[in-house]
Chains A and B, each alone.
Chain A
């Protein structure tokens, strides 16, 4: 096996608990990374995938230690190597690209200098050669005008560009193995697609082996040749990308793939029950036993071993994989279609709303000058009907959360009006709002770790709206709290828990319970599933849909994930730079012809299918400010007409499918252009 560059043998890494028990984070991991191969490691948070990636560099986090096994890089065991020797391998032979490049670049050093540092460390080149190499590297990662770029500071680059610089630095030492730890998480969809495409190019161009760690099956599908699926510190499935994503023979992978919402099959995906067991809690049997649909008694008491199946070139850790071998892939697409009772009854009317973050200067205030700066969000007109789910979609900086905050009253609007229930104008100022309106509009936040007070029990958290709006006390209050918790599938048992004692999904359920306790008419959901694992995301989406059907609540759902939006929404509004681009019923928005920006977004969505490649239409640029005049998308539009786009705000047109598109290009023309490509 001369082509293998890294062999991991029976690796077990763990820690000693406070009670002196040895607990394993990784259990008997054995795998081989071959030359030129890209291996994707997938798993939910806590599955041990990052620990494994770090072990591949010979690094074990503080507090953890190697219990048994070895990690051989060209037949040297990295885990027993001295630091001095490891220094010669790290960067030169094995390089790592971190998740957040913005945080891993030194903020006060120029990009060129930082790459030069890496070159000095890892190569023996002279100054002039290094300078040439810097330009070469920046060119390789496709950063425009490398000489200028090298003179910039990290904060002058966009997130995608920073990630490219991180790739360039990793390539500085010409490594044989590149480890990537969630390199595209946190990037916008279009940027993500561009970075993945770059990584693919580099893998082919340099022949470097890559290990790509991610929770995102969509990203994994685009870059990997082989996929390793991890669960609870074990490899449960290991095989070629196609066979794993198209015909997963482990029930966990099967469930995981089913719980991902897909553009091609609208509707809510199936969710998996339960959550990954905490390290050290499983003693005997299969670690997936509790969540498995196929489980039988045998699975409870015997741990399955990783079994190699010759036909499929795949290893699987399951007793019952044979039942899944013959399941056709179409079964993965079974979804519950949503069917909302939308009444033709307007509940929220957002008209001509503009919001500006710019603060008026003190002198202007004195002179009573009217603030004429370019507002962050401009001219938003949306009507929302009772019982509807409206989604606001766009990349970061598109103003979707800003709009949500003004509806909640947390941010003052500069212009325009928000009317509730036909004729009741919602005050601009939170303090002036009628408590009844405050109750009617509730918020659910992205990250439950931040939205739940860490020093409150679940009981205290859920009791707040009940006490505030309904003045409940004593037994009546407690009864009501239990009732609300049961609605979100949490029992009485959770009352005395603190948020830190709950899993991510449970925390988000508590946040949902708190919002529903107020008996609201409208719930504003701000990226409610983006901090959750895929299997949990599906469960929360299903829960939100069920609650909506029970209570007839209206949702305004903000997300950057087009597939999630497709799954849950009735109507979609696409935003760019705080301006509406397109709005309409979701099935229509997701069909071409559509606004060029929607087209770009849809093209960049990553499906967990290696055969569906993203279409990269527009340049990967990030604009800081909305343009002063003309179309908001003029800077990146692949179909720009010319001066008209730069000077005039485009008109609304009704698209072929009944969606409204704001573009200078006629719908017929759009259709022609988009069908050609």
Chain B
């Protein structure tokens, strides 16, 4: 019988299977490879950078790519290749933890609102709507200028602003299951709200929230780089793509290499995350193409 085949798998096996399904399509495989490449690069790059990323040498200003300086040098004579392969480290760390925070608070609040409903839900959702109406970049600039640009400020601040959308997704996903009889049944048995959330709702909305979180990650990466670009993200001389693009953009007409390399780094990572998130959604059986992101 077919029933015997699908025995309960343990979680590790499930993860393995999801990744296998993701990698079975070319787009998923490409996305996963790009993402993996960037993560490995971010972890290991300090071990093999050819030059010191902050070594300024006016005599080497704006050198074109050569066998010595693969991606050329920037306006302060720093090696662009060195700075490019180091440039994703902060961005990846900040946005990874940022989206994790967004996922956690957004998911928790969304499920809670969906379950409780009524006045509490109304009030919370109106507050979220109010925050959604504020351009996040202005609010971020305010926070950063008040509290500084350390990672410890950036992670929670980004996490907060990118979690608002997740609240809506989690709430909508909760509404989908809340009317089902198994929730009614759990209520009638007398389970507590917490137990209902943990046992009955979470397993059914987890996938949707995780996919949404993965998408938010790539958006947050773009957002973080924008902040750096505006000078509110990472402070110099720490190498960062957004900052590098910002510094070199004025010289683009005659030193294109100093802009192109970080642009390539940033866009490839975003494309990688996007492709991975899409493949992830498909592997979990959620079709993003039919659901508009909130």
A468–B182 Cα gap in the complex (Å)?
A: 15
Q: Report which residue of B6, B7, B188, B199 has the largest number of chain A beta carbons within 10 angstroms of its beta carbon.
A: B188
Q: Does A489 contact B (CB under 8 A)?
A: no
Q: Which residues of A contact B135 (CB under 8 A)?
A: none
In the complex the two chains form, is B186's CB within 8 Å of A501's CB?
no
Q: Which residues of A contact B187 (CB under 8 A)?
A: 410, 430
Looking at the complex, which of A441-449, A545-553, A630-638 is the stretch in contact with chain B?
A441-449
Q: Which residue of B lies closest to A518 (CB)?
A: B189
Within 8 A of B (CB), among A429-448: 430, 433, 435, 438-439, 441-443, 445-447
Q: Does B25 contact A (CB under 8 A)?
A: no
Of the candidates B1, B182, B190, the one whose C-beta lies within 8 Å of that of A451 is B182
Q: Which residue of A lies closest to B179 (CB)?
A: A450
Q: Quick one: given A281-B1, A410-B184, are A498 and B6 in contact (CB under 8 Å)? A: yes
Q: Does A298 contact B (CB under 8 A)?
A: no
Q: Does A455 contact B (CB under 8 A)?
A: yes
Within 8 A of A (CB), among B1-49: 1-3, 6-8
- Which range contains the number of A residues in contact with the other chain? 35 or more
A305–B187 Cα gap in the complex (Å)?
A: 53
Q: Which residues of A contact B199 (CB under 8 A)?
A: 453, 456, 460, 464
In the complex the two chains form, is A457's CB within 8 Å of B8's CB?
yes
In the complex the two chains form, is B185's CB within 8 Å of A443's CB?
yes
Q: Does B200 contact A (CB under 8 A)?
A: yes
In the complex the two chains form, is B191's CB within 8 Å of A468's CB?
yes
In the complex the two chains form, is A453's CB within 8 Å of B182's CB?
yes
Q: Which residues of A contact B8 (CB under 8 A)?
A: 457, 496-498
In the complex, how many angstroms separate the beta carbon of B62 from the nearest chain A beta carbon? 57
In the complex the two chains form, is A501's CB within 8 Å of B3's CB?
yes
Q: Does A504 contact B (CB under 8 A)?
A: no
Q: Does B181 contact A (CB under 8 A)?
A: yes
- Which range contains the number of B residues in contact with the other chain? 20 to 34
Q: Which residues of A contact B182 (CB under 8 A)?
A: 450-453
Q: Which residues of B contact A446 (CB under 8 A)?
A: 181
Q: Which residues of A contact B189 (CB under 8 A)?
A: 438-439, 442, 464-465, 468, 518
A451–B200 Cα gap in the complex (Å)?
A: 11
In the complex the two chains form, is A410's CB within 8 Å of B188's CB?
yes
Q: Does A278 contact B (CB under 8 A)?
A: yes
Within 8 A of B (CB), among A398-444: 408-410, 430, 433, 435, 438-439, 441-443
Within 8 A of A (CB), among B179-236: 180-182, 184-191, 199-200, 203-204
Q: Does A454 contact B (CB under 8 A)?
A: yes
Q: Which residue of A lies closest to B205 (CB)?
A: A455
A465–B6 Cα gap in the complex (Å)?
A: 25
Q: Which residues of A contact B190 (CB under 8 A)?
A: 430, 433, 435, 438-439, 468
Q: Which residues of A contact B200 (CB under 8 A)?
A: 453
In the complex, how many angstroms separate the beta carbon of A226 from the nearest chain B beta carbon? 35
The prevalent SS among residues of A at the interface is loop
Q: Which residue of B lies closest to A459 (CB)?
A: B8
In the complex, how many angstroms separate the beta carbon of B15 from the nearest chain A beta carbon? 15
Q: Which residues of A contact B186 (CB under 8 A)?
A: 464
In the complex the two chains form, is B191's CB within 8 Å of A450's CB?
no
Q: Which residue of A lies closest to B182 (CB)?
A: A453
Q: Which residue of B lies closest to A407 (CB)?
A: B188
In the complex, how many angstroms separate the beta carbon of B24 from the nearest chain A beta carbon? 12
Q: Which residues of B contact A430 (CB under 8 A)?
A: 187-188, 190
In the complex the two chains form, is B204's CB within 8 Å of A454's CB?
yes
Q: Which residue of B lies closest to A430 (CB)?
A: B187
Q: Which residues of A contact B185 (CB under 8 A)?
A: 443, 445, 451, 514
Q: Which residue of A lies closest to B9 (CB)?
A: A496
In the complex, how many angstroms separate the beta carbon of A420 from the nearest chain B beta carbon? 14
In the complex the two chains form, is A438's CB within 8 Å of B188's CB?
yes
Q: Quick one: given A430-B190, A442-B189, A496-B8, are A455 and B203 in contact (CB under 8 Å)? A: yes
In the complex the two chains form, is B180's CB within 8 Å of A281's CB?
no
Q: Which residues of A contact B6 (CB under 8 A)?
A: 497-498, 501
A450–B199 Cα gap in the complex (Å)?
A: 15
In the complex the two chains form, is B2's CB within 8 Å of A450's CB?
no
Q: Which residues of A contact B180 (CB under 8 A)?
A: 450-451
A498–B181 Cα gap in the complex (Å)?
A: 17
A502–B199 Cα gap in the complex (Å)?
A: 21
Q: Which residue of A lies closest to B201 (CB)?
A: A453
In the complex, how many angstroms separate the beta carbon of B285 from the nearest chain A beta carbon? 11
A454–B188 Cα gap in the complex (Å)?
A: 19
Q: Which residues of B contact A451 (CB under 8 A)?
A: 180-182, 184-185
Q: Which residues of A contact B204 (CB under 8 A)?
A: 453-455
In the complex, how many angstroms separate the beta carbon of A207 from the nearest chain B beta carbon? 45
A278–B6 Cα gap in the complex (Å)?
A: 15
Q: Which residues of B contact A501 (CB under 8 A)?
A: 2-3, 6
A281–B1 Cα gap in the complex (Å)?
A: 7
In the complex, how many angstroms separate the beta carbon of B282 from the nearest chain A beta carbon? 15
In the complex, how many angstroms separate the beta carbon of A510 from the nearest chain B beta carbon? 11
Q: Which residues of A contact B203 (CB under 8 A)?
A: 453, 455-456
Q: Which residue of B lies closest to A278 (CB)?
A: B2
Show 11 residue pairs from A and B whose CB-CB distance is below 8 angstroms, ordered by the A residue: A410-B188, A430-B190, A435-B190, A439-B189, A443-B188, A445-B185, A464-B189, A464-B199, A496-B8, A497-B7, A497-B8
**Which residues of A are interface residues toward B (Cβ below 8 A)?**
278, 281, 408-410, 430, 433, 435, 438-439, 441-443, 445-447, 450-457, 460, 464-465, 468, 496-498, 501-502, 514, 518
Known: A445-B181, A453-B200. 12 other contacts (CB 8 A): A281-B1, A430-B188, A442-B189, A443-B188, A450-B180, A450-B182, A453-B203, A456-B199, A464-B186, A497-B6, A497-B7, A498-B8
The 8 closest A-B pairs by CB, nearest first: A455-B203, A451-B181, A438-B190, A496-B8, A450-B181, A445-B181, A453-B182, A408-B188
